[in-house]
Structure 1
Amino acid sequence: MVYMTDEAIERLLKEDVPYIDLTSMVLGIDGQQGIMRFTSREKAVIAGTEAAQRLMTKLGIEVSAQAASGTEVTPGEVFLEARGPASRLHMAWKVCQNILEYSSGIATRTRRLVEKAKAINLRIQIVTTRKIFPGTKELAIQAVIAGGGFPHRLGLSETVLIFAQHLNFIGGLEGLLAQMEALRARASEKKIIVEVADLEQALRLCHAGVDGLQFDKVPPAELAAMATAIRSVNPKVTMIGTGGINEQNVEDYAKAGVDVISTTWVYFGKPVDIGVRITPV
């Protein structure tokens, strides 16, 4: 499970409840006890239940039933249930629903990609880019993992991934090749991965001992031919396909011979339709 600080959980709640729940106060329902149940209106992979549970606990609500992130649910199935004062349940209601709907949407789309890709190649990995809506990384990454994927890069501090924009400052590909040994020594416990534009660049980098190659928006058929040529030079180099990969073309990329498929597609789509019912007890 992705770690979230108490501050992050409280920030989510504070956005929706800056001071009081005015409606509950006006109605005078503070003293009544209630039960809140969450169900999915569609088949889905649920995610975000851990964050929702922590948020409700902070409000003094008892979570009586909870499905773990990554659980597949059917329409109408109760996957989260909580009991407590009616006013507190109403405070938690919409924040938790938003967390669950958006997280479950990401998890469900990720699961679909993983299943389609692994039906072609069991060893292939689906990873997600860092093109995440700012401020939502913990929830997004948790949802990806719940769906069976993995983060490609959690941030710039994590991996060495060299783009054309970097090469502009070191003399292009020739400059990179000239200092490859020095770079490997400087980052001896890290893999060096380079995004390449064509097969010639890829083969030259393979001969120089690069650890991985990333191919952006290369059509699957072309990528398959490149992968075959690269494997003949360096069978162990890691190859990553990225750029425009989605549910419609993921199987073609899985057939192309790459080790990893990197995508942003799972982040942007319809949330899962989740129903919430709050009743007295």
Structure 2
Amino acid sequence: MNHAHVFFETSILEDWLKEDIGYLDLTSTLLHIGNQSARITWRTRGATVSACTEEVVRLLHTRQVSAIEHLPSGQHANDGQALVTAEGPAQALLDVWKVGQNLLEYACSVATRTHQLVETVKHLNPNVGILTTRKHPPGLRRIAIKSTMAGGAWPHRLGLSETILVFPQHRALLAENGWAVVKEKLKLNANGLAEKKVVIEAATLEEALLAVDAGADVIQFDKVAPAHLQEWCATLRQQFPALKLLAAGGITTDNAANYANCGVDGLVTSSLYYGPPADISVVVERL
């Protein structure tokens, strides 16, 4: 597990509350219960991996709640175990109730799916890493990164400015001799980026060999069957021992075991972001 200290601006957290609260909590105002002292507890129904509990704590802090306990991200939680518990004015707790629950249900489900996939692959080949993409709905990147890292994966690519990754879509915008132009441009322009690896996507062994000739440090195979990868990786390892190899496209918990021993260094997936939410109960008590 990786306890990722992902940066969330306070304004982001406040926007989550602003979206849900609007102007006021009409129900609690009508019932005159906002000033009571209360306790709130978010518990998991079923075993899960905790994620983004620190952000729930910070949401409570924005409402001036200070008496808070939480299970850190990346920890295993048993059925019925408390993820976050807080005491304070009832209205402050109610303001965070649903936003916190929604956050935990998504984040913990992603962390749990990630952990399951990581453990499956690690059992078969501990040298293969699990890498997660940026293919999630806009606005979820920080939550997605923190949740997958809590489950034991690493981010593949945080954004366009972080890595050099040449896709077929880039080559399509070059001249007809695209591979030659890629080689020329990388040689001419990438010298000043000596600390950056050049990743090039390929769909065949022939494309992989052209990518290596163009200057690739890493080949990312897209939607290639494990049987083909096993053959191609063996060929590339023999010719280019320092070359790194990745498998991407359509990799899920169901088929990851088939890729674990095909010769790649890492599996790139976006499937972990999607699935049933974790079941998180919320109990509010009067003190």
Same-fold call, TM > 0.5? yes
What is the CA-CA distance between 1:184 and the residue it aligns to?
3.6
Residue 138 of structure 1 deviates from its aligned partner by: 1.0
Match of 1:224, SS?
helix
Q: Residues 193-272 of structure 1 correspond to what in structure 2 (within 5 A)?
A: 193-272=199-278
After TM superposition, the score normalised by the length of structure 2 is: 0.94
The yes-or-no answer on 1:115 pairing with 2:119 is: yes
Aligned counterpart, 1:125: 129
Q: Which amino acid aligns with 2:154?
A: F
Matched residue count: 281
CA distance in 2, matches of 1:194, 1:183: 16
Show the counterpart of 2:64: 60
**Does the Cα contact within 8 Å between 1:206 and 1:233 map onto a contact in 2?**
no
- Please state how far the C-alpha of 1:181 moved relative to its aligned partner: 2.4
Structure 2 Cα separation of the partners of residues 101 and 280 of structure 1: 24
Give the counterpart letter for 2:210 in structure 1. Answer: R
Moved over 4 A (4+): none
> Is the Cα–Cα contact under 8 Å of residues 248 and 269 in structure 2 kept in the other structure?
yes
User: In 2, Cα distance between the equivalents of 1:177 and 1:208?
Assistant: 4
Mapped to 2, the partners of 1:93 and 1:15 lie a distance apart of 13
**2-structure distance, mates of 1:272, 1:6:** 25
Asked if 2 retains the 8 angstrom alpha-carbon contact of 1:56 and 1:63, the reply is no
Question: Displacement, 1:207?
Answer: 4.2
C-alpha contact 2:183 2:215 (8 A) present in aligned 1: no
Paired residues of 1:113 and 1:250 also in contact (CA < 8 A): yes
Q: What is the Cα deviation at residue 180 of structure 1?
A: 4.0
Q: How far apart in 2 are the matches of 1:146 and 1:133? A: 19
- Of the three residues 7, 12, 15, the one matched with 2:11 is 7
Q: Deviations over 1:5-35 (max 9, x none)?
A: 0110101111101111111111011221011
Q: Percent of aligned pairs with the same residue?
A: 39
Structure 1 residue 179 displacement after superposition: 4.0
Aligned partners of 2:56 and 2:84 also within 8 Å: no
CA distance in 2, matches of 1:43, 1:77: 8
Tell me the CA shift for residue 248 of structure 1: 0.8
Look up the SS of the partner of 2:211 in the other structure. Answer: helix
| TM superposition shift of 1:260 | 1.1
Residue correspondence of structure 1 range 77-226 to structure 2 within 5 A: 77-171=81-175, 172-226=178-232
Q: In structure 1, the residue corresponding to 2:88 is in which secondary structure?
A: strand
Is 1:34–1:85's contact at 8 Å kept on the other side of the alignment?
A: yes
Instruction: Give distance in 1, aligned partners of 2:252 and 2:123.
Output: 15
Q: What SS class does the counterpart of residue 59 from structure 2 fall into?
A: helix
**Conserved? CA contact 2:198–2:215, under 8 Å:** no
CA contact (8 A) 1:207 1:233 kept: no
Distance 2:154 2:271 in 1: 14
Tell me, yes or no, if the aligned pair for 1:38 and 1:81 is still in contact at 8 Å. yes
Cα distance in 2 for partners of 1:262, 1:194 equals 14
2:29 corresponds to 1:25: yes
Asked if the contact 2:202–2:211 (Cα under 8 Å) also holds between the matched residues in 1, the reply is no
CA–CA distance in structure 2, aligned partners of residues 194 and 49 of structure 1: 37
How far apart in 1 are the matches of 2:107 and 2:137? 12
- Calculate the aligned-residue CA RMSD, in Å: 1.3
Distance in 1 separating the partners of 2:65 and 2:212: 57
SS of match in other structure, 1:215? strand
How much has 1:4 moved relative to structure 2?
0.5
Structure 1-normalised TM-score? 0.96
Distance of aligned partners of 1:244 and 1:198 in 2 relative to their CA distance in 1, 3 Å threshold? same
